[in-house]
């Protein structure tokens, strides 16, 4: 009853109340473009009972919320707290947030990874590209983009004992858990929706515990040392339980970013065959191609959130202290008021900042690294298979409002 009263209050006065009350998570996943196009136009700040939260869908309001730390600090919603635990880099503020970013983000600074791209990531991409059989088609996401993505991120963190199969399983399992949001009554959609993710959490905890013991016994200056000891007094180390929640976030969002940047770029180029040919002939265009793809179909479509610190008005709506807000960056990146013909992929679009990796203090720590890994992976793919194309018998079907992209990309290699 309380949830019903809260919904009634927040939907009061809007002509869209009936539609929003009936909007389901499945519709958000399957009709993402249509739903958020309507919201941008008619109600850029909207209470969605199915999420028990506000969704912010326009360019200007997403930026306003993301950069206003006083009124909209980070917050951990019930799904994130259940899936990952706390403290969480996504929701932490102040000294805790700064420390977590130092621990997990230092390995992704350009000065740190620049040399490693050619020494380690390009050979990795070539190795996995060579496994693709040109005599038959393949599924690019699982067979190539994801292995390169997860192994490149694990390499940056120093987690080099982990296999692609393990990392992909962890990523996909956590992704399924993240879809288990709450219903209009505050109950999780699937009471057993976190069971498999709980198994993954225990596996990651065991791995970090072993790594922690090795680092304590033999301290090193590499990425594992950065993870456990950067910024701390000599001899001190961060605890496994403190780092575990943010590590799980890395294994979900971080592992998918380079791979989904690849997939989205490939998919975007297939909508403009002449632009695909230009990029294959001139790999120097890949930087622009990837940037446009991340804007056109942002992989982290709606995965950023904030909590209102006080009662306030936003976009004409009365937001209460403690309310949760999802920032729909993927919607903001195609906002018609900011991007002409924004839902069209265009390699020749004039350069314009986008929110694919967020903005401000909670911007993604991998914003510099992911596009560079994607560039190398696509360079090697196009060099090896210049005739690559989508399999017309198995067209892609992008989906998802939290993480968006084609889950499968079936292609012919020649």
pLDDT at 255 (0 to 100) = 74
Return the beta strands (E) in 245-391 as ranges: 304-307, 312-314, 317-319, 324-327, 389-390
- The kind and range of the H/E element at 410 are strand 410-412
What tens digit of pLDDT does each residue of 76-107 get? Answer: 888 899 999 999 998 899 999 999 999 988 88
358-372 average pLDDT score: 92
What tens digit of pLDDT does each residue of 126-150 get? Answer: 999 999 999 988 999 999 999 999 9
Other C-beta atoms lying within 10 Å of the C-beta of residue 178: 22
The alpha carbon dihedral of 22, 24, 28, 34 has a sign of negative
197 has which bridge partners? none
What tens digit of pLDDT does each residue of 181-196 get? Answer: 776 677 888 999 999 9
The Cα 257–Cα 153 span in angstroms is: 9
Instruction: Tell me how many domains the chain contains.
Output: 1
204: domain CATH number? Answer: 1.10.630.10
User: Strand, helix or coil at 382?
Assistant: helix
What pLDDT band is residue 373 in, cutting at 50, 70 and 90? very high
235-252 average pLDDT score: 95
pLDDT at 127 (0 to 100) = 97
pLDDT at 2 (0 to 100) = 44
3-state helix, strand, coil in the chain (%, to 5): 55, 10, 40
The Cα 175–Cα 169 span in angstroms is: 10
Instruction: Indicate the average pLDDT of the chain.
Output: 93
pLDDT at 145 (0 to 100) = 96
What tens digit of pLDDT does each residue of 146-179 get? Answer: 999 999 999 999 999 999 999 999 999 999 998 8
402 has a pLDDT exceeding 50: yes
Query: Residue 187 is part of which domain span?
Result: 2-412
């Amino acid at each position: 009853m309380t949830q019903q009263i809260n919904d009634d209050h927040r939907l009061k006065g809007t002509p869209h109340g009936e539609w929003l009350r009936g909007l389901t998570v499945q519709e958000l996943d399957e009709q993402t473009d249509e739903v958020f196009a309507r919201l941008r136009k008619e109600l850029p700040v909207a209470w969605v009972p199915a999420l028990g939260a506000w969704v912010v869908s326009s360019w200007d309001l997403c930026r306003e919320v993301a950069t206003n730390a006083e009124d909209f600090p980070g917050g951990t919603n019930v799904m994130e707290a259940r899936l990952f635990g706390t403290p969480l880099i996504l929701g932490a503020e102040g000294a805790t947030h700064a420390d977590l970013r130092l621990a997990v983000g230092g390995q992704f600074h350009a000065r740190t990874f620049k040399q490693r791209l050619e020494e380690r990531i390009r050979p990795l991409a070539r190795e996995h590209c060579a496994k693709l059989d040109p005599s038959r088609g393949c599924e690019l996401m699982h067979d190539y983009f994801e292995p390169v993505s997860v192994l490149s991120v694990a390499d940056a963190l120093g987690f080099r004992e982990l296999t692609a199969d393990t990392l992909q399983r962890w990523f996909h399992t956590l992704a399924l858990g993240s879809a288990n949001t709450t219903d209009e009554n505050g109950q999780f959609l699937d009471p057993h929706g976190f069971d498999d993710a709980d198994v993954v959490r225990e596996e990651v905890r065991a791995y970090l515990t072993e790594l922690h013991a090795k680092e304590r016994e033999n301290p090193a200056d590499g990425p594992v040392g950065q993870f456990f000891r950067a910024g701390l007094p000599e001899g001190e180390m961060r605890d496994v339980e403190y780092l575990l929640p943010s590590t799980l976030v890395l294994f979900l969002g971080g592992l998918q970013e380079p791979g989904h940047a690849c997939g989205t770029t490939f998919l975007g180029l297939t909508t403009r065959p002449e632009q695909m040919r230009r990029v294959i002939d001139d790999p120097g265009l890949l930087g622009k191609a990837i940037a446009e793809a991340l804007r056109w179909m942002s992989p982290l479509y709606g995965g950023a959130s904030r909590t209102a610190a006080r009662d306030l008005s936003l976009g004409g709506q009365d937001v209460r202290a403690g309310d949760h807000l999802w920032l729909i960056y993927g919607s903001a990146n195609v906002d018609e008021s900011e991007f002409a013909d924004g839902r069209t992929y265009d390699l020749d679009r004039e350069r314009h900042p986008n929110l694919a990796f967020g903005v401000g203090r909670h911007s993604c720590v991998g914003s510099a690294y992911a596009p560079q890994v994607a560039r190398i992976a696509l360079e090697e793919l196009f060099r090896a298979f210049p005739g690559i194309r989508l399999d017309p018998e198995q067209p892609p079907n992008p989906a998802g409002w939290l993480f968006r992209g084609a889950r499968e990309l079936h292609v012919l290699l020649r």
